[in-house]
Amino acid sequence: MVNIGYHAAKIQGNFLRSIYKSSLSNLVSFPIAQERQVPIKVYALSCERDLPEQVASLRSFLRYVGIPKTFTIMSDGSYTEESIKLLRRVHPCVDVQLLTKFQRDDLPQSVYEYASQQAMGKKLAALMSIPIEESTLYTDSDILFFPGASDLAELASASEDVNTYYLPDCKSSFDKRLIYEDIEQQNPINAGFILFKKALDWDVSVQRLASLKEPPNYFSEQTIVNLTIKLNQGKALSKEKYIMSVDDQFMYPDKFATKQIAMRHYVSDIRHKFWQSVFF
């Protein structure tokens, strides 16, 4: 039996994305009603393919969280000059940097090799290169922020809090070669949204990467992030406000999009729902 609701949502999502993409040059000039300054630096890694999502995610952050000290978009190298100019037009806080120039020059060789082979290796290099001197957020481009994100502004402002906060994942997506004990697979962490309050020690997990006898795969990056945050005693964000779920994948509506949530990560299984909620 054909799931009409699911297919209708997919068609609607593709249509809304095409409209948004074709309107980008005008959309980025629309003013964002926000005056709240937030003591946080934000970083995102994205590419030309995801330009519409990156613009929408950025605008939703400014609208619902506030104006950060900086919002740095790390380009994987595919952004055109025109797209870079467009991203900078969204707000004066926005900067765009080429990842190869942004990434540190003292990362382990295994990380550079992974980055040269796969997109997720580039993401690992980006995460390990982010300077952490104060509240710092990494966010994927397929994340939308909602009215409840004022909670994130408060969390970023709590200067006495030095915990790293992570987004609990809804399923395990690991490179099992990097998992040495079963307990390391429990309470999986999604690597698409991390609030840093202090620099992390990556040594133990990256040593496992270096010990692989075969090349790392798509899930190696998330596994390393999962291990690192747990070894650094990270704290989970509220599952009720910070949404990582695909439970509504085959339904028509976005059942999680409410004024109470802070954000939702629209991973590939539910990417079409990103566009149902972009004008929330």
Whole-prediction pTM: 0.96
Specify the pLDDT at position 99: 97
Report yes or no: 193 and 263 within 8 Å, Cβ to Cβ: yes
238 vs 161, which has greater pLDDT? 238
Specify the pLDDT at position 2: 82
224: CB partners within 8 A, 6+ apart:
124, 178, 202, 205, 206, 208, 209
Identify the bridge partners of residue 37 per DSSP, sorted by sequence position.
67
User: Which of the four pLDDT bands, split at 50, 70 and 90, describes residue 204?
Assistant: very high
Q: What is the mean pLDDT of residues 225-229?
A: 98
Specify the pLDDT at position 159: 80
Short-list 47, 58, 52, CA closest to 15: 52
Specify the pLDDT at position 1: 75
User: Domains in the chain, ordered, with CATH?
Assistant: 4-14+37-236+244-277 (3.90.550.10)
User: Which of the four pLDDT bands, split at 50, 70 and 90, describes residue 280?
Assistant: confident
Share in percent of the chain as helix, strand, coil (round to 5) = 45, 15, 40
Is the per-residue pLDDT at 160 higher than 90? no
What is the C-alpha end-to-end distance of the chain, expressed in Å? 31
Q: What is the mean pLDDT of residues 142-167?
A: 93
Q: What is the mean pLDDT of residues 39-53?
A: 98
